[in-house]
Amino acid sequence: MRELILKNKEDQRLIHGHLWIFSNEVDSPLGDFAEGEEVLVKNAQGHCLGTACVNPHALICARLHSRRQAVHLDAELLHKRLRTALALRTQLFSKPWYRLCHGEGDLLPGLVIDRYDRHLTIQITTKAMELRKQELFSVLQELLQPQSLLLANDNPMRALEGLSLEKECLGDVPCELEVPENDCLFTVPCQTGQKTGWFYDQRDNRQKAASFARDLDVLDAFCYVGGFGVGCAKHGCRSVTFLDASSQALDYARRNLEHNAPACAETASYLEGSAQKLLAELAAEGRRFDLVSIDPPAFIKRRKDAGQGISAYRKLNQLAASLLKPGGILVSSSCSFHLKEETLLDCIARSAHKLGRTCQLLAKGQQAADHPELLGMPETRYLKCCIARLLPGD
């Protein structure tokens, strides 16, 4: 293997557990390397930090897949890493519905796999992993014998790596999937769903939110297929309103509610359109709820957008808080890595202050354990969920 030499003092993140190397940290001519080439990563003093794959055309120009020298990203390593990942999930869950591989969190940069029993949905976001996908398919066949694979290639990160955005199907990929979660059973779109079809990362947070919902009027904004609202209905909420920009998502939310909580389905409401616009309209109409969940897409995708994104989170939390009855519960989520937990808490506190309310923090959550965080790499911890109670300010 050829060597990729870092500039002086650019090895500290890697020494402390990070896996990414940025193009401005490299002292070697990147143009000399082929896309997906394996290299030995060395610091300016010549000490080897591990083995990585290179994409000379990307901002993240190399990603470590091993701390040892000359370890190939091949079928043997894929098998080892996925077997280790599978062992954790098998210990965590009695049924095969979970995130099987969480990219860097499972030491396989550029690879995300969600398992739905005999179907796998895969996101490959690096050139190196794309070049090795045939080996990946063989390993998955050996480990799990899946009936079908969907390569959800519409992730914009693929464009940054120069990869195609067209989806690929192997086997008889279903149109819909059934996902058991907590004590509910959800039907979700497979080929036309968001991301990988379902958001396993919110599993624990949905269960926690539902535990507060008995006899409450609930609003589930950015509901997708109804994960938060259906869970609340299953736990005995008085009424539930779903809000989403997608008519398809709302159709699935309706079906999931009818299946899991038919009594609540008789009085449920469904609102289609921009969340911010509809939340403002509900507030102007004087509508109030006992529990409001907001689970928006990432408002901050790049560090330079943080200021604008934080303003958007403040506005959204203010709208959601204004819809709460005194003593109501706000479930506020963010999947933006660049929004820190303390900043989200500040958004909630500011909202309470502007409304003259006193804010109690009831619970904090992050992504579920099948989305492991790699210590030393904060980018692998991205999801925040804060549950707060807004009391009258007397």
Q: Which domains does the chain have, with CATH numbers?
A: 2-66 (2.30.130.10), 75-174 (3.30.750.80), 177-392 (3.40.50.150)
Average pLDDT for the chain: 95
Give residue-wise pLDDT tens across range 229-253: 999 999 999 999 999 999 999 999 9
Q: Whole-model pTM?
A: 0.94
d(CA 76, CA 73): 8
Amino acid 393: pLDDT:
73
pLDDT band with cut points at 50, 70 and 90 for residue 366? very high
Amino acid identity of 239? S
Query: Above 90 in pLDDT, residue 155?
Result: no
pLDDT band with cut points at 50, 70 and 90 for residue 261? very high
Q: How far is CA 394 from the centre of its chain?
A: 38
Q: Which of 273-282, 299-308, 371-380 has the lowest mean pLDDT?
A: 299-308
Amino acid identity of 388? A
Tokens of 141: 């066949």
Q: Is 335 a catalytic residue?
A: yes
Q: How far is CA 338 from the centre of its chain?
A: 13
Query: Above 90 in pLDDT, residue 309?
Result: no
Query: Cα separations (Å) of 147 from 62, 133, 134?
Result: 33, 17, 16
Give residue-wise pLDDT tens across range 76-96: 999 999 999 999 999 999 999
pLDDT band with cut points at 50, 70 and 90 for residue 156? confident
DSSP H or E stretch at residue 186: strand 184-189
Amino acid 113: pLDDT:
97
pLDDT band with cut points at 50, 70 and 90 for residue 299? confident
Q: Which of 5-14, 110-119, 149-158, 260-269 has the lowest mean pLDDT?
A: 149-158
Amino acid 306: pLDDT:
83
Please tell me which residue in 101, 232, 264, 335 is annotated as part of the active site. 335
Q: How far is CA 320 from the centre of its chain?
A: 22
Q: How far is CA 215 from the centre of its chain?
A: 30
Amino acid identity of 6? L
Mean per-residue pLDDT, 289-304: 90
Neighbours of 361 (CB within 10 A): 12
Q: Are 370 and 89 in contact (CB under 8 A)?
A: yes
Amino acid 279: pLDDT:
96
